[in-house]
Chains A and B, each alone.
Chain A
């Protein structure tokens, strides 16, 4: 399976190289695939423009319906009513499902969606299906995303009157490299090549850098470094970033994120209105799906209204004498979702402390995303930062505009007026390391390391005459290794027999401009210049589904026989 993932990427790569004959740089488009909404933008030669679909929409709902023979996505399809999206025939929220296994709590929370999310709780990909002619027709999040991306590509190609191949996609901060391969695979299925993947707040940061640069030009401002805190909360994810901007360069100082968003606010509120919701809907029959849709639409409506009014009346008739009538006020809504807001606040504080900055250092606070209108979110962000929110950008378009800017910059486009004299210096959102020192996670590239990066750490053997060592690569920030995301594993062979602690096993990781991770490892005996055996070079991730099992299986088979420990670095002069 692991090899296959690669083949897809390599295939798409070869296609890309065949196409490199044109002399004009192909400008990559920016795509923001939101959990709930999606948009496309491109550098038009003088500015960023958002593309519209045939119904003149800039923001399109992210869903694919399998109702008819040909699946149709939110770009081309017109919904007769919102309930149509909730009939079970449409798959949405794919961004919350992609690259997750069926033991993941996020997948479990998705089981109350109208389409079918079936889990067997054994650590494999969940079964996802749409209701077509009273039958559950199976699909995958990658397939759904690919169908949607094809529609976006066709729409962009029609408007720009050229083939589209290269894209810059925005992604949540918390996405693991495994999830990124799923996104890349969906793009490959849609005939798109991912030029860059940008965590959403970093795309916003680039737009901010451009705006600051323009201000400097217009007002002859000082052009000194400005610190901005970006808080981006959409339907599926909540991400924060701190950027230091000067001279059009956005240097990301720290990133923090969580899988929390409007969907959680919605589900918490639905549970509040109908406490036995999960039981009530668990059968997933057609009648239940219809009732689920009623509750979902009514709750969504109520939450929207609570952004502008203090209380809202909810009146739902679920049939069979089951009625929900409630006046929900804002305070109650905030109480029900208290832990969500607390987590959001902790992300901001974490971001500040990771960047080694105080609240007073922040020049601008940027609040974007679909949840930015919720009073509690605004108050929380302004309360922590002791500042009003930056008003210079459209909260729903900022990320896609930033992605389009990066698309132009990374495609090598030059603007005579200097509007593209921009650079985004990205950092790693999660640590990458290996299992060592027993069952511990030892980071080699720590979180918030500037990319491209290259780091190495020296390890050694734990047994006398240990001739092999297992390198198991993880991504995450948990100390206990199994709580992190497994990326891959391989074995170093040919370690010359020696007492434990003598062989130097060098593990080096590098990340290039396109965020591709490579692990190099090998053994050097002390006093020698050359490696004892050829070094290994492995591109990550190599694991596919069932990765949880792989780590357990390795542990079962090898125990600690092929373990490694970190070496205290000796400073030799």
Chain B
């Protein structure tokens, strides 16, 4: 896959995207939330109408459409499509006057690639797709939040056990003032058994 479809236009000013005087590469979306994303059109041929009309502006195509591959595409096809699109949209090679726009596209392509090249994430995404959920970025987020949920529940149980332990200790402290050390130990043994 050495074919290069990228249009490379020599740039006039190589320091186009350096530090502070540069305009924002990505304006912050007005409404910020993980599920409401600013979505960029892929060009008329790729855009398909979306049933979730809560999205203003253009619709999010599927990640497969984004990479321009069929839903049955193999890992090799995904990788090839990704590298080809990277050669088009990466800011090192994109046309000088469209760096901002292309950088956004690059980040989307990257996310699509990361989702589809990971069998587990792809599976989750495919299931969402089958349910008719066309949120381009939901699969990955869903996956991440699942992981966090596990973390959290584990953390919570550990925390609760610590808490109950602490409660026990403070109970001893309150009631143990008048008790001898041996009495305290006996009481503790009885309680824990």
Determine the distance from Cα of A568 to Cα of B147 in the docked complex, in whole angstroms: 11
The yes or no answer to B163 lying at the interface (CB within 8 A) is no
| Complex interface bits, A537-552 against B, C-beta within 8 A gives 1, otherwise 0 | 1010000000000000
> A414-B10, A452-B107 are contacts. A573–B34 as well, Cβ < 8 Å?
no
**Which residues of chain B from 1 to 48 have a CB within 8 Å of any chain A CB?**
1-4, 8-15, 17-22, 24-26, 28, 30-35
The yes or no answer to B162 lying at the interface (CB within 8 A) is no
> A424-B92, A530-B30 are contacts. A512–B107 as well, Cβ < 8 Å?
no
Closest Cβ–Cβ distance, residue A383 to chain B (whole Å): 30
In this complex, what residue of A is CB-closest to B90? A423
> A512-B103, A513-B91 are contacts. A223–B1 as well, Cβ < 8 Å?
yes
Judging by beta carbons under 8 Å apart, are A524 and B32 in contact? yes
Residue of A25, A216, A504 with most partner-chain B CB within 10 A:
A25
Judging by beta carbons under 8 Å apart, are B19 and A9 in contact? yes
Determine the distance from Cα of A89 to Cα of B31 in the docked complex, in whole angstroms: 59
Which of these, A23, A453, A506, A569, contacts B12 with CB under 8 Å?
A23
Return chain B residues, CB-CB under 8 Å to A514.
Answer: 17-19
Determine the main DSSP class of B at the interface with A: loop
Residue of B18, B84, B144 with most partner-chain A CB within 10 A:
B18
> A414-B10, A421-B4, A452-B107 are contacts. A508–B28 as well, Cβ < 8 Å?
yes
In this complex, what residue of B is CB-closest to A22? B12
The yes or no answer to B184 lying at the interface (CB within 8 A) is no
Which of these, B1, B20, B34, B79, contacts A569 with CB under 8 Å?
B34
Determine the distance from Cα of A223 to Cα of B80 in the docked complex, in whole angstroms: 11
Judging by beta carbons under 8 Å apart, are A193 and B15 in contact? yes
Closest Cβ–Cβ distance, residue A570 to chain B (whole Å): 8
**Which residues of chain B from 70 to 94 have a CB within 8 Å of any chain A CB?**
79-80, 83-84, 86-87, 90-93
The yes or no answer to A295 lying at the interface (CB within 8 A) is no
| Complex interface bits, A156-192 against B, C-beta within 8 A gives 1, otherwise 0 | 0000000000100000000000000000000000000
Judging by beta carbons under 8 Å apart, are A454 and B19 in contact? no
Chain B interface size, as a band, is 35 or more
Determine the main DSSP class of A at the interface with B: mixed
> A213-B2, A514-B18, A568-B149 are contacts. A17–B8 as well, Cβ < 8 Å?
no
Judging by beta carbons under 8 Å apart, are A571 and B21 in contact? no
Determine the distance from Cα of A14 to Cα of B24 in the docked complex, in whole angstroms: 17
Which of these, A193, A423, A506, contacts B18 with CB under 8 Å?
A193
Closest Cβ–Cβ distance, residue B72 to chain A (whole Å): 20
Determine the distance from Cα of A177 to Cα of B155 in the docked complex, in whole angstroms: 32
In this complex, what residue of A is CB-closest to B131? A573
Return chain A residues, CB-CB under 8 Å to B24.
Answer: 518, 537
Determine the distance from Cα of A414 to Cα of B92 in the docked complex, in whole angstroms: 12
Return chain B residues, CB-CB under 8 Å to A10.
Answer: 19-21
The yes or no answer to A531 lying at the interface (CB within 8 A) is yes
Return chain B residues, CB-CB under 8 Å to A529.
Answer: 30-31
Determine the distance from Cα of A97 to Cα of B32 in the docked complex, in whole angstroms: 41
List 17 additional A-B contacts (Cβ < 8 Å) besides A413-B10, A423-B86. A13-B15, A22-B12, A195-B15, A213-B2, A223-B1, A246-B1, A246-B79, A247-B1, A249-B83, A414-B8, A421-B2, A506-B33, A516-B22, A520-B28, A524-B32, A531-B32, A535-B28
